[in-house]
Amino acid sequence: MRYGSARILVRIAAAMLLAASADASRAASPRPVEDTLEQRMQACVACHGERGGGVAGAAFPRLAGQPAAYLAAQMKAFREGTRTYAPMNFLMARQSDAYFAEIAVWFASQRPDPRVVEARRGAAVDRAALAAGQALVQKGRPDDELPACVSCHGAGLGGRTPAIPALAGMPRDFLIEQVGSWKTGSHRSPEPDCMSRIARRMSGADIVAAATWLSLQQPDAGPEPKSDALPLACGRG
Ligand code: HEC
Ligand code: HEC
């Protein structure tokens, strides 16, 4: 499994989510334990961190501070199978759009955990590759018609409403996996699929360099507002 053995975590998480749906259908009966969204989202902590703030040393993405519509769209994509990662497909399978919207708004309003990036700093990195990654993210490569990542993902890489995700402080291996799967065509987004076009203009070394630099940036910035001036049209965002 790409992210290590997650089977036990998923079993616990699924039990919590199923308990939550059962509770909802028995809404009239008194409950011994307070049932809050935060409590139900404990099901996500092992992989996504406390309040979705992220975890160091694993390839799980943080959810905190991401644009809400982005999170909701991804949960739907896992439910419908257009995005595949077996544990997430399983967890989202029976949930409704309304529940996704509620979960998304809650995570969007949480703060990323700054300790995640701190924990990664200090590891040896190739300085030249890091500089190349930074240049690619901030300036793109006009000769190859590769737009700067910041032009869509925001100057502070905190994403853009409604549905362009933040990249700052995301795990390196997660970023490589995502961009790599657009490049090979194993993952597609709704047309016009700007990320597939962008990923195909990147070499393997470009992807690793950009991902390494991004994973070391503190996620200080929140999402920027929607823009009508993106360098490429995107089906979402
Ligand atoms: C077993 C670990 C695990 C558990 C438990 C888990 N997730 Fe995930 N989640 C992942 C991984 C890994 C990904 C990235 C998968 C991929 O490669 O596309 C992901 C992706 C996501 C994404 C898309 C994020 C992005 O930036 O693209 C959302 C939203 C999400 N999960 C929500 C949840 C919620 C809500 C819960 C709890 C109900 C949860 N997850 C529980 C491992 C987990
Ligand atoms: C033209 C606008 C645009 C540009 C430029 C752009 N992106 Fe994106 N990116 C998007 C959109 C839109 C999405 C959401 C796709 C979806 O909903 O499936 C996205 C999603 C992503 C994701 C998924 C993150 C997650 O949490 O799931 C990664 C990784 C990513 N982009 C990396 C990059 C990198 C690296 C660059 C620069 C080389 C870049 N992007 C440039 C529009 C853009």
Can 7-108 and 125-215 be said to share one CATH topology? yes
The domain ranges of the chain are 7-108, 125-215
Considering every ligand atom shown, identify the ligand nearest to the alpha carbon of residue 74 and give its number. Answer: 1
Which CATH superfamily hosts domain 7-108?
Cytochrome c-like domain (1.10.760.10)
pLDDT of residue 31: 57
pLDDT of residue 1: 39
Output the residue whose Cα is nearest ligand 2's atom 36: 149
pLDDT band at 3 (very low <50, low <70, confident <90, very high): low
Q: Which of 226, 144, 141, 149 is nearest to 194 (CA)?
A: 149
DSSP 134-152: HHHHHH-BGGGTB--THHH
Return the CATH class of domain 125-215: mainly alpha
- How much distance in Å is there from the Cα of 142 to the middle of ligand 1? 34
**Residue with tokens 């994973």, as numbered in its chain:** 215
Distance CA 112, CA 120 (A): 15
Number of the ligand 1 atom closest to the C-alpha atom of 59:
12
In this prediction, residues 105-126 reach a mean pLDDT of 94
Task: Note if the pTM is more than 0.85.
Answer: yes
In this prediction, residues 5-9 reach a mean pLDDT of 68
- pLDDT tens for 54-89 read 998 889 999 999 999 999 999 999 999 999 999 999
62 contacts 112 by C-beta, under 8 angstroms:
yes
Number of the ligand 1 atom closest to the C-alpha atom of 187:
18
Beta strands, E only, the chain? none
**Residue with tokens 């996704």, as numbered in its chain:** 100
The two tokens of residue 20 are 């939550």
